[in-house]
Every structure is written in C-alpha cells, then in structure tokens.
Amino acid sequence: MNRFEFARATSVAEARSLRAEKPGSVLKAGGIDVLDHLKEHLVEPPRVIDIKSLPGMKDIAVEADGSLRIGPLATLAQVAAHPGVQKSHRALADACGEAASPQIRNVASIGGNVLQRPRCWYYRLESYKCLKKGGAVCYAIGGENRYHVIFGGGPSYAAHPSNAAVPLVAFGATFTLEGGKGKRTVAAADFFKPPTANPEAENDIGADEVLTEIRVPSAAGMVSSFQSFRERAAFDWPLVDVAAVLRLEGKTVKEARIVLGAVAPIPWRSRKAEDAIVGKTLDEAAALAAARGAIVGAAPLSDNGYKVSLVQTLVRRTLLSLA
Ligand SMILES: Cc1cc2nc3c(=O)[nH]c(=O)nc-3n(C[C@H](O)[C@H](O)[C@H](O)COP(=O)(O)OP(=O)(O)OC[C@H]3O[C@@H](n4cnc5c(N)ncnc54)[C@H](O)[C@@H]3O)c2cc1C
C-alpha cells in the first residue's frame, strides 16, 4: 500500500473540498472496498477522506407516505434490522442482511455497497491492465469467466456485485448526489451504466459528487422478496440474486418488477419475466413462465452456463415465496 494522507470530513462540503484540493483522493465510508483497492494498488490516492461520521447521513426513516429515506452511511446491518424497512420493503432488508458476512455488514455502508467496484478477478489483480483500468482487453473473454455476466456483456463482462442495488432498482429508488453543479436526483434504474460508453465506470456518479441520500418510494399494497444464491453462506459474493416486487389483487398479479443481480454489468430488469406473470394467477405455472422469460437473451460465456439454470430456479423460487 502506498503512503497517503488521511483526513476526516465533517460535512459534505468539506469532503468535496478536501477531494478537490488533491486530485485522485478517494472517499471512504465503511472502507471495505476502498481498503481492498489500496492493498491491491488499484488506486494510489494522495489522500483518503473519511466520510463515515458525516452528520445526518446514517439515518433511516419511514416517511408519512410510507416511503423510505436512507442515509447512504447507514450500515447494511442497520438497514437489514430496521423494523420499518423489514415491514414495508422486505426485499431490501433481506438483500442487505444477506450480503457478505455479519462483520462486514456491521461496517459496510449501503452507499458504499451500491458504489463498490466489480469483483472480477482480472480487474482486482494489479498485473492485469484490463478494460476497467484503461486497458484494451476484457480478459474474461477466453479466460476464467465463471463469475461473469450472462446478460448485457461487452466490451467488459464483469458482473455488478451489489446486493442492495438489486431491490433498490426493483422498488424504483432514487439517489441524491451533491457536486460542483449542485444537487441532482437520479433514478436507480438510470444510475447504473452498462460498459458500452465507458467500461471504466459502473454508474453515473461524477468525480466531484457525494451520494447524500437514498429515497425509496412507498411500497404500500406491494409484496416483495429477495433471494440469492452463493457458493458459501458467508464471506462470499452472490452468483445470482433476484428481487421481485409485486402488486397482487387476490392471487392475480397486477404489477411486477423483477430484477436480477450478479448476472449483468448492471442490476438487470427482466421485463420478459414480468410480462409472463402480469394478469396471471401467481401459481406454479406462472412462476415457471416467468423463470423461462427471465433467461430470454442470456448469452453465457464458456464457463458460466450454470447461471442460466440458477436464474430460472431463483426466479421461480422468489415468485413462489410470494404466492
Ligand atoms: C468477503 C467479502 C464478501 C462480500 N460479499 C458481498 C455480498 O455478498 N454482496 C454485496 O453486495 N457485497 C459484498 N461484499 C462487498 C461489500 O459489501 C462492499 O465492499 C461494501 O458494502 C462497501 O461499503 P463501504 O461502506 O465499505 O464502502 P467503501 O469501501 O468505503 O466505498 C466503496 C466505494 O464507494 C465510494 N463511496 C462510498 N460512500 C460514498 C458516498 N456517500 N458518496 C460517494 N462515494 C462514496 C468510495 O469512494 C468507494 O469508491 C463483500 C465484501 C467482502 C470483503
């Protein structure tokens, strides 16, 4: 790890000016991903700015209209354990509660979770100058690609790793960002960016911006579920995630949002799966039709065809858990 200066910001404005003073400086929330980057020489910042104690950015509130206001510095454990989130936005609580391990969830912030960089081993190894580090090649093609994408790949094939991002997209969350041009709000669905325009970025955050708030609309009248499959129950990343948010009238699906995680460079909304169940009775046949819909367009690489079956199984299982 290279030497760097450490600074602690007490306001968003201070965090931004500390970063502007020394270009290349990085913000640290829980520091789980930042520390990995420092240790592997993936970033060599002149200054690391601790934002963990910024006032008001850890709060979680259920508003009068049933929507959620979540400070991006709230830990995954806090979001997972919050009774209001559990009651109204179950899939989000479960996604945060299943990530990583108890130790990590107690430190990692939800903001850092959605902004973490991909787990691709070529990206994570200093010696590979891959597309995500300004190189010319995605080594997953023709390389070891069992954890990579089956949807939306190219030119980079690294999967989006965030658990929390999957239900946030499904619930129609928005992110508030504060930077030099002021405050802006972006829908989670538009925030995550495929690698086509810029393979080095997974999202729309500007170099001078701080994520200051996450808003999740009310889910009154909706039910939701999050299911994840991973090789180990803890200290591991998902192979496939599924978040489903449904509006049911009796047993009939009136509205559906189904989002897949860890299978695409962004949280992947599966409209074919949604179309397969809207207007139908939520039963085994509908869940199976949605599972089949979810894999339309899948383009597995040489070693990750198993993810296609996993998507089918998890979509079916997630929907049946709501039936
Ligand atoms: C063994 C292991 C297993 C894991 N398993 C999972 C898993 O199953 N699912 C999963 O989703 N994740 C998993 N993770 C990843 C982990 O959850 C993330 O690294 C963590 O959530 C990042 O949060 P943080 O607060 O530590 O972010 P940091 O490391 O502090 O920051 C991450 C990035 O976000 C930026 N950042 C953070 N906050 C802000 C902000 N408010 N504004 C602007 N930029 C900001 C930082 O500059 C940095 O670029 C795992 C990690 C490990 C080590």
Cβ atoms < 10 Å from Cβ of 269: 18
Q: Is 104 in the pocket of ligand 1 (CB under 6 A)?
A: yes
Collect all residues with Cβ–Cβ distance below 8 Å to 202 and sequence separation of at least 6: 117, 118, 160, 192, 193, 195, 265, 266
pLDDT higher than threshold 80 for residue 1: no
* Mean predicted confidence (pLDDT) in 311-315: 98
The span from the CA of 48 to the CA of 19, in Å, is 8
Contact 79, 90 (CB under 8 A): no
Q: Is 45 in the pocket of ligand 1 (CB under 6 A)?
A: no
Confidence category of residue 197, pLDDT binned at 50, 70, 90: very high
Contact 219, 131 (CB under 8 A): no
Q: What is the pLDDT of residues 144-157, one digit of tens each?
A: 999 999 999 999 99
pLDDT for 104 equals 97
Q: Is 163 in the pocket of ligand 1 (CB under 6 A)?
A: yes
* Closest ligand 1 atom, residue 28 Cα: 30
Q: What is the pLDDT of residues 219-231, one digit of tens each?
A: 999 999 999 999 9
The span from the CA of 320 to the CA of 47, in Å, is 49
Q: Is 75 in the pocket of ligand 1 (CB under 6 A)?
A: no
Q: Is 261 in the pocket of ligand 1 (CB under 6 A)?
A: no
Confidence category of residue 234, pLDDT binned at 50, 70, 90: confident
Q: What is the pLDDT of residues 5-51, one digit of tens each?
A: 999 999 999 999 999 999 999 999 999 999 999 999 999 999 999 99
pLDDT higher than threshold 90 for residue 239: yes
Q: Average per-residue pLDDT in the chain?
A: 97
pLDDT for 196 equals 97
pLDDT for 151 equals 98
Beta bridge partners of 266: none
pLDDT higher than threshold 90 for residue 268: yes
* Closest ligand 1 atom, residue 164 Cα: 11
pLDDT for 2 equals 81
pLDDT higher than threshold 80 for residue 118: yes
pLDDT higher than threshold 90 for residue 235: no
Choose which residue among 116, 132, 200 to substitute to test ligand 1 binding: the one with the highest number of ligand atoms within 8 A of its C-beta: 116
Q: Is 29 in the pocket of ligand 1 (CB under 6 A)?
A: yes
pLDDT higher than threshold 90 for residue 279: yes
Q: Is 100 in the pocket of ligand 1 (CB under 6 A)?
A: yes
Atom 4 in ligand 1: which residue has the minimum CA distance? 100
- Distance between Cα 10 and ligand 1 center (Å): 21
Q: Is 210 in the pocket of ligand 1 (CB under 6 A)?
A: yes
pTM of structure: 0.98
Pairing of strands 174-179, 182-187: antiparallel
* Closest ligand 1 atom, residue 205 Cα: 43
Please state, for a pLDDT cut of 70, what percent of the chain lies above it. Answer: 100
Atom 47 in ligand 1: which residue has the minimum CA distance? 27
- Strands of the sheet with 268-269, listed across from one edge: 222-229, 240-249, 252-261, 268-269
Q: What is the pLDDT of residues 59-69, one digit of tens each?
A: 999 999 999 99
CA angle 16–216–116, rounded 5-degree value: 50
